[in-house]
Amino acid sequence: MASLLAWHCNLVPIVNWILCSLDQKVWAGYERSKKSTVFKTITNGLMTGSRKRPSEGNYEKEKEVCIQLFDQWSEADQVEFVEHLISRMCHYQHGHINSYLKPMLQRDFITALPAQGLDHIAENILSFLDARSLCSAELVCKEWQRVISEGMLWKKLIERMVRTDPLWKGLSERHQWEKYLFKNRTTEVPPNSYYRSLYPKIIQDIETIEANWRCGRHNLQRIQCRSENSKGVYCLQYDDDKIISGLRDNSIKIWDKQSLECLKILTGHTGSVLCLQYDERVIVTGSSDSTVRVWDVNTGEVLNTLIHHNEAVLHLRFCNGLMVTCSKDRSIAVWDMASPTDISLRRVLVGHRAAVNVVDFDDKYIVSASGDRTIKVWSTSTCEFVRTLNGHKRGIACLQYRDRLVVSGSSDNTIRLWDIECGACLRVLEGHEELVRCIRFDNKRIVSGAYDGKIKVWDLQAALDPRAPASTLCLRTLVEHSGRVFRLQFDEFQIISSSHDDTILIWDFLNVSTNGQTEGRSPSRTYTYISR
């Protein structure tokens, strides 16, 4: 028995040697061929006969004979012979063979591909790595480091982040390193080392911005509108160059976002401007005079006036040739916008029992909220009623809708998060002391403004997690307005808000000076506009 085990163990080095002599391409697949007479003899004699007799010290001679015959066979016969050998081994021998094969089957394809003139494939493979993995890949060997450097893979990683993340895109524009991106190798671009050192600086900037949001650190700029008659800024929208605001004194004022100077005043409404939206061509405004006006965004010329609602137009939205307006008259109007001068009424939606304060829509749903405490959902394509979201205890003043999520604010002082598809209330946010007048959200945050004069920043992802304690949801409360907060808009870097106190505030979380500041407060720059 001992001698039999000794011979059985001798199979392992034989198989290892045979495996080593096999061409690696055989393991990718082959067609079995008919076994030769010699193959049958070796298999039956060596494998069967030898196991029945004790070893007599002839192992080395027998191994040489076996190897000589093995070298004479075709690749297919060699593989089939090895399969027969392996099938006669026990489990622990299979483990030895497996350990022997593993390093033989491994390939450094990143090094091998450039040797075959396929550098671009190696670069493409490594271009899918994240920053941590790319750092590790640089340390593998000099060839990997060369592929990463010559392939400008740190540049490609930054470009990928700029394309997919609005925070990265915003930083690239504000810090002006976007000019070094999205250029081919034929143009003058910095070396890979520039992008390698730029990446951690970007990460540091992002961490600083996130910390500023959490801690309430900001630089504050203030526009004093100084309305002559009635004070208050009811609505606004901004971009990188300008802020357009609708005022209680019936005017629309356009401000330079850098200098904070008033560039233009549009007049024509005979009532307060309660809502507005603009794009690259037009400004559309709604007023307490019951009309909707369309203005040329560049010249300020009135292009169209829509007279339909019987009472104040409280809110409006337009996108892709469709506009939705809502009114104190309890109705919602759906309009087709072929051009600024060709706007026709498609449908009037009726169902609310009080003033409709706000609307929002996408390709699937129109969502409206009313003083009757309900949110109603309508089909965008057919304008048919879909469902009602019930839960608020008092009238609803504001909402935003995106994807499946609706976020609403009410005069019951709460904010509610809803799943529009099933109508379920996902979370109730409490903290404001008076009516929640305006609300916006992105992928990270909800920002709300209320009649208590406060702006609150909430953690959206935590609010969507039912396990998150209510005490952790409000990240920061910002207090600078001395009156009711009427409207706000925000992005990754700033909040811009307007108030009954006749001011527009710019809360900048990017350009924060830390010298002598107390947390959550910062020196403000004020520009006062005095109408003539």
Cβ neighbours of residue 378 under 8 Å, at least 6 residues apart? Answer: 332, 349, 365, 366, 367, 368, 384, 385, 386
* Statement: residue 64 has pLDDT above 80: yes
Q: Among candidates 236, 168, 180, which has minimal Cα distance to 205?
A: 168
Question: Diameter of the chain by CA atoms?
Answer: 118
pTM, two decimals, is 0.78
The Cα angle at residue 426 between residues 424 and 430, in degrees rounded to 5: 125
Structure confidence at residue 187 (pLDDT): 66
Report the pLDDT value the prediction gives residue 513, as an integer from 0 to 100: 79
CB 488 within 8 A of CB 499: no
- Rounded CA separation 158/164 (Å): 10
Average pLDDT of span 364-390: 97
pLDDT given for residue 7 in this prediction: 45
Residues in the chain: 532
Please report the pLDDT score of residue 14 as a whole number.
58
Looking at residue 241, its pLDDT comes to: 95
The predicted model gives 23-37 an average pLDDT of: 41
Question: Which DSSP string do the residues of 114-156 spell out, in sequence order?
Answer: HHTT-HHHHHHHHTT--HHHHHHHHTT-HHHHHHHHHTTHHHH
Strands (E), 371-404: 374-379, 385-390, 396-402
When pLDDT is averaged across residues 501-507 and rounded to a whole number, the result is 96
Q: Per-residue pLDDT tens for 281-304?
A: 999 999 999 999 999 999 999 999
Residue 332 has pLDDT above 90, yes or no: yes
- What span, in angstroms and rounded, lies between the C-alpha atoms of 40 and 390? 82
Rounded CA gap, 512 and 498, in Å?
A: 21
Over residues 93-142, the pLDDT tens digits come to: 899 888 888 888 878 888 888 888 888 999 999 999 999 999 999 999 99
Do the beta carbons of residue 201 and residue 209 sit within 8 Å? no
Question: SS3 string of 172-235?
Answer: HHHCCCHHHCCCCCCCCCCCHHHHHHHHHHHHHHHHHHHHHHHHCCCEEEEEECCCCCCCCEEE
